[in-house]
Amino acid sequence: MTDTPGPETAAEPAQTYEQAREELADVVRRLEAGGLTLEESLTLWERGEALAELCQHWLDRARERLAAARPTD
């Protein structure tokens, strides 16, 4: 994962943190359940990576906002 926003994160991401986290949890559940073809597994893995990056984006933004709100000494 990189700190550089991708095309989806250039402005405001379409999914909220909570939506992305829930979808990511679903992807993990589906991968852990097995029974998928290799292609289905790879597609889910790639989606999971994108969702993890999106979640990280939201967490980084929250961290930045907290740091900006903190009084300086």
**Do residues 14 and 6 make contact, with C-beta atoms less than 8 angstroms apart?**
no
Instruction: Break the chain into its structural domains and give their ranges.
Output: 17-69
Whole-prediction pTM value?
A: 0.75
Of residues 4 and 70, which shows the higher confidence score? 70
Q: What is the pLDDT of residues 20-69, one digit of tens each?
A: 999 999 999 999 999 999 999 999 999 999 999 999 999 999 999 999 99
**Do residues 24 and 45 make contact, with C-beta atoms less than 8 angstroms apart?**
no
Residue 10 binned pLDDT confidence (cut-offs 50, 70, 90): low
> How far, CA to CA in Å, does 50 sit from each of 16, 18, 22, 64?
13, 14, 13, 21
Confidence at residue 12, expressed as pLDDT on a 0 to 100 scale: 73
